Amino acid sequence: MSEYIIKNGHVFDPTQGIKGDKKDIAVKDGKIVDKVGSSAKVIDASGKTVMAGALEVHAHVAGPKVNAGRWYRPEDKHFDSHKTAGITRIEGGKSIPTVFKTGYEYARLGFTFAMEAAMPPLYARHVHEEIHDTPIIDEAALPVFGNNWFILEYLKNHEVENTAAYIAWILRQTKGYGVKCVNPGGTEAWAWGLNCLTIHDPVPYFEITPAEIIKGLIEANEYLGLPHSMHLHQNDLGNPGNYKTTIDSLKLAEGIKATNNFGREQVLHSTHLQFHAYKGTNWGDFESGAKEVMDYVNKQKNLTIDTGNVTLDETTTMTADGPFEHHLHGLNHLKWFNVDVELETAAGIVPFIYDPNNAVFASQWAVGLEIALYAKDPMRCFITTDHPNAGPFTRYPRVYSWLMSKKVRDERLNSFKKADKVISATNLANMDREITLYELAAMTRAGPAKCLGLSKDYGGLKAGMNADIAIYNINPDKFPSTGPEIEKAFAQVAYLFKSGKICVEGGKVVDMGHKETFWVDAKVPENKQVMHDIKEKFLRYYSINENNYPVPESYAPHQHIISVDASQ
Amino acid sequence: MAEKKITLNMITCRTIQQGVGMEAGKTSQKYFDACTIMHMHTDDMKRLGLMKNTNVKVTSSVGSVIVKAVETREDLVPGLAHIPMGPWANRIVPAYTFSTGEPCFKGFPVDVEIAASERIMGAVEVLQDACGLIRK
Amino acid sequence: MPKEVTDVICPFCGTLCDDLIVSVSDDNKTILGVKNACAIGAEKFNHQRQPGRVKLPRMRQADGSYKEISYDEAIDWTAKMLVKSRKTLMYGWASTSCQAMSIGHEIAEKVGGIVDNCATVCHGSSLIAIEDVGVPSCTLGEVKNRADRVIFWGCNPAHAHPRHMSRYSIFPRGFFTVKGHKGRKIYCVDCRYTDTAKCADEFIQVQQGFDYELLDAFRTAARGEALPDTVGGVPKEKIYEIVEDLKQARFGVIFFGMGLTHTMGRNHNIDIAINLTRDMNDHTKFAIMAMRGHWNVTGSGQVLGWQYGFPYAVDLSRRDQARHQTGETTSVDLLNRNEVEACFYIATDPGAHFPVNAMISSSRKPTVTIDPHINCTTEISDIHIPVALVGVEVGGCAYRMDNVPIETRKVVDPPEGVLTDEELLTRINKRVDELMAKGGQ
């Protein structure tokens, strides 16, 4: 396998505390090594920024609701379906890219890993078919548990061991990575047209509360010692005043210590926090709750979050928070897609136009930036757009420009049609902080890798780690000063190394690499009760047979399996 | 006094016998038996002076096909006729889609006349004949 | 000793029953019997052992007869046809696996094909409507476990999805529906009293072609507004009565089929049915589901969706862009207007199911048809290439009518020497590459 020496680049690596020093990075046989021979190919990185490949910690990129979004939005391909010369396939879709475009675009941005945020277990085969067809980047998927009938019944009786055994079984059946929890209890209520808006609203029939579900899933996750923590989309998303429910939910993690062999320190990852950080009582007196929420997050070392930044685009919202989507459809009257999934979850989709002329949407934009700017520990706060909910992931460079330059974001803030209203409803105007390249590396590489339990081999440039490396045309000594220049610098890497192979060069895809599907195989003690319950539910309630439920091996030809032994 | 020709509203649909016939093979007897029939309401058969299980000539804006008129198991209303989907039904289905991609499979006018002595073509034959591919 | 293969998925209709038990001869070559299948599924599996399987490609001769040729010759002819043609209709796909479709799409992108599937003459209207207004839906297990009002509108599952009613929609005893049939009220709306109507609690006879008006009347009634005395032949009192009953549902579901997609109004019929369902969600929980016909037409839509962004009628003929516009890129229209230079049919029989004028146009183009059996289309094609029966002789992923993916199984070996779709398409793809490299394209 090839040897490379990346010479003279400005290296930003929080795993080693390197803050822009010029350093050579040596690559051999897919790994970063201490040194290579003289025949190694030289990559001249002088005047460039070198970081590990970025990790997307939460995006909707593969699966049934993503594809439903593609189906029902032919207009999303309008003006945005094309093929570039070279080895790439036709690329399409602005807010919901096709799988080819998803892989290429993430790679062009310097990403080498993406986590599909929500996988309904019944549809796992679909998720893996899409992951299989997505080129270059490694991927994993999080099965959803927060509205699953098994989970609701076990946690009602606080049966953490049974919960853990069932989770382990699902991870194996679906080749899943961890525990995702969306709108706990509320999405089961949605199957009757209802919802759970606070953590104490009981789920119809099952009579368990979101609080019990959240706590129980955190405990089960730690019982198993999974590489990632429980990953939570809180109740009451998107509503003014929801910051209280958010803090109530986060408080459930207090006092719980992370148990795992992967270096993970958090027990709860709270996702797209922007949507959950609103004060006020209605859209008229809507205000940013980012400070209140981040004050809490900053104090609690066992939490990680991702931002969910609004990008002010026409985009598509899609989430397992089914009742929220119905509610959103009632607000903007754009076409609504919904599917309730037996025993497991639901999903909803509604297109959304974050018009900058609208004071509420502009304030949401500010809230998202505040979340990142208030974060004291960049290793615990990651940058996302909850793609495509708050905006397409292809807008990351724009988000970086707002975070890294007060001038650029103030330009945007002051030019809003309702700027006065936005400034008075939020804190952003008074915030001077500018995220540095080093902090960015923490928020997009080292932090997400650690949060996902991958810090041994990913998210950094230490010898021994996987050679996933992004080289940007950014000279830290001459950091670009305008928004468009910052965006351009981050939009197309000079080089992307994926497992030691150059896959993108000069922004152009030159190799499809050898992507892997990551999943977690957790061993638990034999649990006859859970196996009986599974058999029973498949016989009586599911619409497919138990033997047809697992994802066949052929769907993931290259698997990266992380083994966990919780069998004591 | 029986009419020489009556006009009916035609629909073409799946039947279970057509489905079974299809799986037996497009050139099978089962398929032929399932698809070369036209379900008619008894009132319409009376108007035409038609005995059940007699061949009829069915003509639409596209052309004509010979099928066997049968009494339906699934009730029709007078004026409505049904030929199960297949090459015989499609011999007369108008291809116009109204820019939807979907032809007029259900709900188009047809004239029906008795054609007791005319032969029903085979599945392949009825298509090849329309395409001008049968060498005489 | 014969053996039994369990959990077999039936490759016929969109119900995608996955509980079939097939007995197979010891040498893996013959299906001896099948349990749990409906009449159509049983015929499919039992037909496997009939003699007379086509084992080699067949080429049409000048005198109209067919002569056997080798796979290599057929592949070469096909690749040449594809490379030469600037715009090839590549239609069908609904009865093969997702894995095979993926390879087919690679070919289409290279040679400039239009990839269309059977939805184009089936639920295409529904897909257009979904593109316009979205759709509130659910999985079939939700119907089984929760639904207490079920409406079959313009569909006849007794004939087209025979086990649907017993597996999902009328009879099953689910978690919240322990009374089964007795706990559900079943409505059937159709222009004729079908065998499905016989299973319903109430049959509503609508005048053929007036479904749009009747659906509109349901919406109007749901809003408590005035109606004319009859709509589509249905008295207004009945309409108000039914809507009031539907509002009492805990979970209602509308299943619909060709009675809406094929009749006057096409996509507008589904559009308004979806809007009715959406309106009902203001009162209670309601879902709507298309009764997809083929066992994997949904799968073709899914693969086209994630690879190109559209569910069917995907025009790749410019090779640098994917385009989709019903009426322009849909198969029947392309054939009607004579806009393709060659035809490539796989896992389908448009000769039996397209209107004849479209097929007359098709028969004048160089045509290759890929199918396990002789059918109408093969007999007007230049080449017929036989392949293994997917879901019987080779496995592969399929998507049910509610988009749930299920991997079908291989139950017996294909006849000696017969390729699978995946193997055949891979070889065609390779030959296309060779020809294009030579031709410098």
Task: Give A306-324 pLDDT, tens digit per residue.
Answer: 999 999 999 999 999 999 9
Q: Which of residues 9-48 of B touch C (CB under 8 A)?
A: 9, 11, 13-16, 19-20, 22-27
Query: Residue C358 has what pLDDT?
Result: 98
Task: Reduce the DSSP state of residue C52 to 3 states and report it.
Answer: coil
Residue A166 pLDDT exceeds 80? yes
Q: How confident is the model at residue C50 (pLDDT cuts 50, 70, 90)?
A: confident
For residue A62, pLDDT beyond 60: yes
| Cβ contacts of B100 on chain C, cutoff 8 Å | 124-125, 128, 266-267, 326-327, 330
Find chains touching chain B: ≥3 CB pairs under 8 Å. C
- Both tokens of residue A414? 């002051």
Q: ∠ at Cα A478 (A477, A480), nearest 5°?
A: 135
* Backbone phi, psi, residue A345, to 5°: -170, -160
Answer yes or no: do A191 and C321 touch at CB < 8 A: no
pLDDT value of position B43: 94
Residues of C in contact with A64 (CB under 8 A): 403
Mean pLDDT over residues A393-397, rounded? 98
- CA-based nearest residue to C71, from C57, C59, C87: C57
With CA atoms as reference, report the closest residue to C153 among C62, C70, C269, C37: C269
C326 touches chain A (CB under 8 A): no
Model pTM above 0.90: yes
State whether A72 and C250 contact (CB < 8 Å): no
State the greatest distance between any 2 C-alpha atoms of chain B, in Å, as a whole number.
Answer: 43
% of residues, chain B, pLDDT over 90: 92
The verdict on B125 touching C (C-beta cutoff 8 Å) is: no
List CB contacts (< 8 A) between A141 and chain C. none
Torsion sign across C-alpha atoms A48, A52, A58, A64: positive
Q: How far does C171 lie from chain A, in Å, by closest CA?
A: 13
Q: Would you state the pLDDT for residue A79?
A: 78
Is the pLDDT reported for residue C413 higher than 70? yes
Taking 90 as the threshold, does the pLDDT of residue B136 lie above it? no
> CA–CA separation, C131 vs C135, rounded Å?
9
Strand spans (E) along C11-153: 20-24, 31-35, 58-60, 66-68, 88-92, 113-117, 134-138, 149-153
Model pLDDT, residue C440? 56
| Section C127-148 average pLDDT | 98
Asked if the Cβ–Cβ distance from C309 to A77 is below 8 Å, we say yes
Residues A69, A80: Cα–Cα separation, whole Å: 15
B2-39 residue pLDDT tens = 899 999 999 999 999 999 999 999 999 999 999 999 99
How does residue C2 score in pLDDT terms, banded at 50, 70 and 90?
Answer: confident
8 Å CB contact of A82 and C138: no
Q: Across residues C97-113, what is the average pLDDT?
A: 97
Q: Which residues of chain A make contact with C317, given a CB cutoff of 8 A? A: none
Average of per-residue pLDDT values in chain A: 97
Mean pLDDT of B113-126: 97
- CA dihedral sign, ordered A449, A455, A457, A463: positive
Q: What is the chain B residue with the closest CA to C265?
A: B98
- CB atoms B90 and C330 under 8 Å: no
Subunit contact B25:C374, Cβ cutoff 8 A: yes
Which stretches does DSSP call E strand in chain B?
5-13, 37-40, 54-59, 64-71, 80-84, 106-114
Give the rounded percent of residues in chain C with a pLDDT score beyond 90: 97
Per-residue pLDDT, C56 = 98
Q: Say whether A339 and C137 touch across the interface (CB within 8 A).
A: yes
What's the whole-number average pLDDT of chain C?
Answer: 97
Cβ–Cβ < 8 Å for A199, A245: yes
| For range A225-252, the mean pLDDT | 98
The shortest CB-CB distance from A338 to any of C137, C302, C305 is to C137
Cα B60 to Cα B96: distance, rounded to the nearest angstrom: 13
Q: Which class for A525: exposed (0-12), middle (13-18), buried (19 or more C-beta within 10 A)?
A: exposed
pLDDT at A175: 98
Q: How far apart are CA A352 and CA C429, in angstroms?
A: 40
pLDDT value for B72:
81
pLDDT confidence bin for B134, thresholds 50/70/90: confident
pLDDT in tens, A215-228: 999 999 999 999 99
Chain B CB within 8 Å of residue C266 CB: yes
Of the candidates B72, B103, B123, which has its C-beta nearest C355's C-beta?
B103
Average pLDDT for A107-117: 98
